[in-house]
Structure 1
Amino acid sequence: MIHQKLKDAIQQYSEELTELRRKFHSEPELSWEEEKTTAFVCEYLENLGIPYRRTEPTGVIANIEGAKAGKTVALRGDMDALPVEQLNKDLTYASKEDGKMHACGHDAHTAMLLIAAKALNEIKDELPGNVRLLFQPAEEVAQGAREMMKQGAVEGVDNVFGIHIWSQMPTHNVSCTPGPSFASADIFKVTFKGKGGHGAMPQDCIDAAIVASAFVMNVQAVVSRTIDPQNPAVLTVGKMAVGTRFNVIAENAFIEGTVRCFNPDTRDHVEKQIQHYAENVAALYGASAEVEYIRGTQAVINDENSAKLVQKVALEAFGEDVLYNEKPTMGGEDFSFYLDEVPGSFALVGSGNPEKDTEWAHHHGKFNIDEDSLVTGAELYAQYAWAYLNE
């Protein structure tokens, strides 16, 4: 199952792999702004002789065509950074852009996929099928995967595989279990309208601050009292804007939050309950409510056969101690949209190392990775493609 030439090649390119990751880290670009990264990926693929095409506005789809007919497996790596200020500025490869940072590991994903492509391209005469390479923009805003799909990312693809560097797992460990991995991630917005007035005359007003506060306190019962506790869900109010002045009773209040779960029926239920609670809490005080519910990413549900193949590949490539059973996370991932169309799986590769200060949470200003994990990720990409095509 393991191709020794792939292993040897990726080990040989380990220094280049680190250099690539550091280059991307120092030059972060936000979602839909990945112009330099896209141009670099195109140039890199062109130098390897790998056919590619740019997607619009950013992103790259490339193909390594094997000498033998067979299936097509897609490997996805995302490229965008976050609007986060880098706090560990002492790094020699720290972000050169104020307020922008690769605080989630997408710099590592792009670098790993490039080196995996380089290694796979060297054995294309042995490949019984094709490898599709997806260098995806705009994952952080949950739009890139859908846009890539509109532009043919998974046309003719039989299986899709993705990797996320994971600081909450020890370096080198690999987790890919069948079933739920990442939750669906939705946004809800509620606007309450009351009746403003002087703070000394509450009897003449409908206080939107009171209405919004009552909603925030009561809506938590949707999860705690209307959903089976064995069916996990999270409802978080993250933003609340109300009022204009200390002695003015607020006429308007705005609330914004997120809903995370794994089950589509639960998702539908929570959406309806948010509408129900908003309308009824508002009515209780004589106010009105408008609710906007925006569906974001789907839940990432790993295909059983694909996930088990990842586990077999990891065991054979890295040894018995490599597998790690990471619990499903309530984080969101737009890789889910590929899985709606094509079977596949999404693996986590550990990069947490307390000795290297790489256990900070994703999206934190001090986020960093143990770069020893890069080789693990690059080889997992390549060996999975080889194993799948040879099934």
Structure 2
Amino acid sequence: MIHPKLKEAIQKYSEELTSLRRQLHSEPEVAWEEFKTTTFVCQYLENLGIPYRRTVPTGVIAEIKGGHAGKTVALRADMDALPVEELNKDLVYASKEEGKMHACGHDAHTAMLLIAAKALNDIKEELTGTVRLLFQPAEEVAQGAKEMVKQGAMQGVDNIFGIHIWSQMPTNKISCQPGPSFAAGDWFKITFKGKGGHGAMPHTCIDAAVVASAFVMNVQTIVSRTIDAQSPAVVTVGKMDVGTRFNVIAETAVIEGTIRCFYPETREHIETQLHHYVESIAQMYGATATIEYTHGSQAVINDEWSAKLVQQVAAEAFGEEALYAEKPTMGGEDFSFYLSEASGSFALVGSGNPEKDTEWAHHHGKFNIDEDALVTGAELYAQYAWAYLKH
């Protein structure tokens, strides 16, 4: 199932792997601004003699063609950072960019895939088929994968595999369960318009703060009272902007939030109900309302055969004790757009280690990874591609 030369090569390149990750971490670029990162990846691939092409405006698609004809398996790594201030100021590789940070592990994903590519390139004459490498921009805004697909990333691909470093799992544990893994993620912006006026004369006004508050208090019943309890869903209001002064009745209130769920019918139902609640509550208070609803990533649903292959590869490469059954998360992942084009799966590689202070939540300013997990992730990428093509 696994190739011993891949294991040996990735162990040999382990120091380089850490170095690559640290360089990427110190030079973060947010969504659609990954120009230096794209050039960095291209130069690395060029030095290996791996043909590639840039996507627009950022991103890279590359291929390692095997010595024997066969299918095509794609491996994906995302590259973008977040608009988050790094709080780990004592790290020698801390972010050099104020207000920007790799707070989700995409620096690790990119470094792991580069080293996996190097190891696979070493044995390319033994490969039965082609390994396509996708270095994707703009995952954090749920747009990069869709754009990569538009630019041909999945043409001719039979199967796709991706990895996410996961701080909520112990270092080097691997989880890839069949079925739902990451939720669909949408977001909304609602503007309630009332009638402003003096705080001493509320009877002459329509208080947008009251309207917005009524919506926030009632919207949770969409989940608690209109959805099957066995179909998980989350509606979160994360931002409310209302009012201008302590003694002025607010004329306008703007609310922003997100919706997470696993099943298309649940997603459609929540969107319909959200519009109904907005319109009804506005009408009840004599206000008006507009709603902007944006569909983000779809749910990541792991193909059963592919997920079981990941488990087999992981058990053989790292031992049965490496396998871990992580529950599905309500976090979003635009890897889902690739799974609309081909079968595949998405694995989690644990990087949480309390002794190294790497259990912080993703997107937190103190997020960091246990770099021991890098070798595991790089080998899992490479061994999965080898195993899939052998099948």
Establish whether TM, by shorter chain, passes 0.5: yes
Query: Which residue in the other structure is 2:86 paired with?
Result: 86
Query: Which residue in the other structure is 1:8 paired with?
Result: 8
Query: Which residue in the other structure is 1:154 paired with?
Result: 154
**SS of aligned partner of 2:237:** strand
Query: Which residue in the other structure is 1:310 paired with?
Result: 310
> Mapping of 1:232-381 within 5 angstroms?
232-381=232-381
C-alpha deviation, 1:12, in angstroms: 0.3
**SS of aligned partner of 2:160:** strand
C-alpha deviation, 1:49, in angstroms: 0.4
Query: Which residue in the other structure is 1:385 paired with?
Result: 385
Moved more, 211-220 or 241-250: 241-250
Query: Which residue in the other structure is 1:64 paired with?
Result: 64
Query: Which residue in the other structure is 2:216 paired with?
Result: 216
C-alpha deviation, 1:234, in angstroms: 0.2
Query: Which residue in the other structure is 2:77 paired with?
Result: 77
Query: Which residue in the other structure is 1:126 paired with?
Result: 126
**SS of aligned partner of 1:345:** strand
Separation in 2, partners of 1:69, 1:206: 70
Q: Deviations over 1:53-85 (max 9, x none)?
A: 000100000000001000000000000000000
**SS of aligned partner of 2:244:** coil
Q: Deviations over 1:346-371 (max 9, x none)?
A: 00000000000000000000000000
- Unaligned stretches of 5+ residues in structure 1: none
C-alpha deviation, 1:244, in angstroms: 1.1
Separation in 2, partners of 1:317, 1:339: 25
Which amino acid in the other structure matches residue 390 of structure 1?
Answer: K
Q: Deviations over 1:126-151 (max 9, x none)?
A: 00000000000010011110111111
Q: Deviations over 1:321-363 (max 9, x none)?
A: 0000000000000000000111000000000000000000000
C-alpha deviation, 1:246, in angstroms: 1.2
**SS of aligned partner of 2:215:** helix
Separation in 1, partners of 2:367, 2:242: 33
Which amino acid in the other structure matches residue 292 of structure 1?
Answer: E
Q: Structure 1 residue 29 and structure 2 residue 24: aligned?
A: no
C-alpha deviation, 1:105, in angstroms: 0.2
Any runs of at least 4 consecutive aligned residues in structure 1 with deviations exceeding 6 A, and if so which? Answer: none
Which amino acid in the other structure matches residue 15 of structure 1?
Answer: E
C-alpha deviation, 1:202, in angstroms: 0.8
**SS of aligned partner of 2:322:** coil
Query: Which residue in the other structure is 1:138 paired with?
Result: 138
Q: How does the TM-score come out when normalised to structure 2?
A: 1.00
C-alpha deviation, 1:320, in angstroms: 1.2
Q: How does the TM-score come out when normalised to structure 1?
A: 1.00
C-alpha deviation, 1:230, in angstroms: 1.0
Query: Which residue in the other structure is 2:20 paired with?
Result: 20
Separation in 2, partners of 1:202, 1:93: 56
- Unaligned stretches of 5+ residues in structure 2: none
C-alpha deviation, 1:289, in angstroms: 1.3
**SS of aligned partner of 1:166:** strand
**SS of aligned partner of 2:369:** coil
Which amino acid in the other structure matches residue 334 of structure 2?
Answer: D
Separation in 2, partners of 1:318, 1:167: 19
Aligned residue pairs, count: 391
Which amino acid in the other structure matches residue 151 of structure 2?
Answer: Q
Query: Which residue in the other structure is 2:202 paired with?
Result: 202
Moved more, 108-117 or 278-287: 278-287
**SS of aligned partner of 1:348:** strand
Which amino acid in the other structure matches residue 242 of structure 2?
Answer: V
C-alpha deviation, 1:158, in angstroms: 0.2
Which amino acid in the other structure matches residue 210 of structure 1?
Answer: V
Separation in 2, partners of 1:379, 1:224: 43
Which amino acid in the other structure matches residue 220 of structure 1?
Answer: Q
C-alpha deviation, 1:189, in angstroms: 1.1
Q: Structure 1 residue 171 and structure 2 residue 168: aligned?
A: no
Separation in 2, partners of 1:122, 1:232: 45
Counting aligned pairs with the same residue, the percent is 80
Which amino acid in the other structure matches residue 38 of structure 1?
Answer: T
